[in-house]
Amino acid sequence: MAAPTYSLGKTLLKIDNVCLEYDGRPVLSGVTAEVRDIIVPGKVQGQVVGILGPSGCGKTTLFRIVAGLLPPTSGRVSVNGFDRPVIAGEVGVVAQSYPLFEHRTVLGNLMLGAKKKEKDSQVARDKVMGFLTEFGLEDKYNLYPAQLSGGQRQRCAIIQQILCSEHFLLMDEPFSGLDLIMLEKTCELIAKVADMDDLNTIIVVTHDVTAACSVADHLWLMGHVPGADGNTLPGSRIVKQYNLIDRDLCWQPGIITTARFTDFVREVKEEFRRL
């Protein structure tokens, strides 16, 4: 089957030669990548990027820089074509624990996010209820976080960040500790969020190669590279990028059950082990 017809539009998020040092020790070195608007004729198509890498390779550090929570030593991250570094709050962050205010109801939690964009309380409430309906939580609005399942908390945390930051969402290890059923539902949820708007961009930071390949249209593999003398160069970087669209490995029901998908996952895992 031929790869889907698509084109690339404007740059939505750009990581430009980002370096970071702690106490004079390079942690990230020359990290460069960009996310461009994926345009598919007749279809709303968002973007999903998976950032993979072994433990200690700087994934979490890059996560914080992209979110505007940590300034790099040099280089910058920018979004929406702005000629300035990203500002905290422009990129939503869904932490692994799906933090919500336990003393507030679901509606109360989400209204905090909605009111950052909407000054009219009724407009904000209507927006929240619309998202709750879209995500199958319309009957949970008056419950407290402790009364929700893990999957329901995850959906609430995602809605909260969409309300705050609109088009950009960073997810930290969203597949950690999930059984097979929840893993599949989480992949479906990420795809659903991405495809709610052409400009929606979800960046998933994980060490789960198979799950990342299942949901992403592009993968960035982070790690260290050897220098000319055979010794590892200081600082982690993006050592390889994969375009799953051109490989005809995304946007198709049942693609993860095919032999070529399995072969691709094996290819990525072998590269992962060499890092």
Instruction: Answer yes or no: is 135 within a domain.
Output: no
Residue 78's domain is classified under what CATH number? 3.40.50.300
Q: Is the pTM of this model over 0.85?
A: yes
Instruction: Answer yes or no: is 34 within a domain.
Output: yes
Cβ 261 vs Cβ 213: under 8 Å: yes
Q: Which residues of 156-178 are buried (b: 16+ CB within 10 A; e: fewer)?
A: bbbbbbbbbbbbbbbbbbbbeeb
Question: ∠ at Cα 160 (95, 149), nearest 5°?
Answer: 65
Instruction: Answer yes or no: is 128 within a domain.
Output: no
Instruction: Answer yes or no: is 1 within a domain.
Output: no
Cα-to-chain-centroid distance, residue 132: 21
Task: Show the domain range for 48.
Answer: 7-103+144-274
Per-residue pLDDT at 162: 86
Instruction: Answer yes or no: is 134 within a domain.
Output: no
pLDDT tens, the chain, 275 aa long: 556 789 999 999 999 999 999 888 999 999 999 999 999 999 999 999 999 998 888 899 999 999 999 999 999 999 988 889 999 989 999 888 788 899 999 999 999 988 888 888 999 999 999 999 988 899 999 999 999 988 888 889 888 888 888 799 999 988 887 778 878 888 888 998 999 999 999 999 998 999 999 999 999 999 988 777 777 788 899 999 999 999 999 998 889 999 999 999 999 999 988 87
Per-residue pLDDT at 265: 96
What amino acid occupies position 214? S
Per-residue pLDDT at 227: 74
Instruction: Answer yes or no: is 198 within a domain.
Output: yes
Half-sphere exposure of residue 221, counting CA atoms within 13 Å on the CB side? 19
Per-residue pLDDT at 155: 87
Per-residue pLDDT at 87: 92
Per-residue pLDDT at 1: 55
Per-residue pLDDT at 6: 95
Instruction: Answer yes or no: is 158 within a domain.
Output: yes
Q: Which residues of 101-136 are buried (b: 16+ CB within 10 A; e: fewer)?
A: eeeebbbebbbbbbbeebeeeeebbebbbebbeebe
Instruction: Answer yes or no: is 156 within a domain.
Output: yes
Number of domains in the chain: 1
